[in-house]
Homo-oligomer: A and B are copies of this chain.
Amino acid sequence: MTTSIDPLLSHVRIVLVETSHPGNIGAAARAMKTMGLSQLWLVKPKQFPCAEATVRASGADDVLARAQVTETLEQALSGCGMVYGTSARMRSIDWPTYAPWEVAQRVLRGSEDAPAEALRGEVAIVFGRENSGLDNEELELCAARVLLPTNPDFSSLNLASAVQVLAYELSSYNKRDVAAVAKPEDGWDPLATQDEMNGFFSAFEKYITDIDYFDPAKPKQLIRRLHRLFNRAAMSRSEVQIMRGIITAANKMMGQNK
């Protein structure tokens, strides 16, 4: 999984409108920075700057320090090419509404007919007040809505959590295609070869036959199941050596005891 930050994220503004709790501003800054976002815009924050915001930012002070504070949402959106307004509830149906992953695609990847929005200008994602969200006038300023998929019976997402979800979606969207299983660095134990696996399987089969657990005359279903089990584990060479060492020790013990 690639860990690099998509440079397009630098064109994404997170805009918080009239946030009441400075702690949420700090937590939002932290959420942004963990996901590689840096542009925080604050429209009429109740209290900012504020010690509580800095505490909750816990290390994302630079995002807070560079935060732009404006009097109106229009000011925070100035220069933006595309503006999304977030909502946890479907509020108006006669408005283009997207899921977070659709926003990520539009902003960062685009499609045949439309290049990534962040390549074409600044993109803003607007988050409303903790209690009342965005009012209709503010939503009118948003070209589209982001609908955060939540539990229909409990959609009360914390403000910083909503920022976290969008920031995570934006930072991870283009990583999903990449084979995301972490690439092992040096010191990775090589996988056992098929020959080594077969050598282990036949030693194992002989052993469970010797201890009267397996009857070669009977159907081989058991053997197939054991093969499936160990193949599924994608055994390393040294793991096969351990298992063969155990079988050797077991045979030696049987011999001694005979």
User: A176 to B160, alpha carbons, bound, how many Å?
Assistant: 23
Within 8 A of B (CB), among A231-258: 232-236, 238-239, 242, 245-246, 249-250, 252-254, 257-258
> What is the chain B residue whose CB lies nearest that of A3?
B152
Is B154 within 8 A of A185, CB to CB?
Answer: no
- Does residue A184 face the partner (Cβ distance < 8 Å to B)? yes
Is A94 within 8 A of B211, CB to CB?
Answer: no
Contacts of A185 in B (CB 8 A): 93
Chain B nearest CB from A129 CB (Å) reads 15
What is the oligomeric copy number? Answer: 2
Chain B nearest CB from A115 CB (Å) reads 13
- Does residue A155 face the partner (Cβ distance < 8 Å to B)? yes
Contacts of A175 in B (CB 8 A): 99, 149
- Does residue A51 face the partner (Cβ distance < 8 Å to B)? no
> What is the chain B residue whose CB lies nearest that of A235?
B229
- Does residue A172 face the partner (Cβ distance < 8 Å to B)? yes
For chain A, the bracket of interface size reads: 35 or more
> What is the chain B residue whose CB lies nearest that of A58?
B156
- Does residue A128 face the partner (Cβ distance < 8 Å to B)? no
> What is the chain B residue whose CB lies nearest that of A189?
B94
Contacts of A187 in B (CB 8 A): 93-94
Chain B nearest CB from A31 CB (Å) reads 6
Contacts of A101 in B (CB 8 A): 172, 176, 180
Contacts of A172 in B (CB 8 A): 99-101, 149
A-B contact pairs, 25 of them (CB 8 A): A1-B147, A5-B151, A27-B161, A34-B150, A34-B161, A59-B156, A60-B154, A93-B187, A94-B189, A98-B180, A99-B172, A147-B182, A149-B175, A161-B164, A165-B168, A211-B249, A211-B252, A212-B249, A212-B253, A222-B242, A225-B239, A225-B242, A233-B233, A250-B250, A257-B257
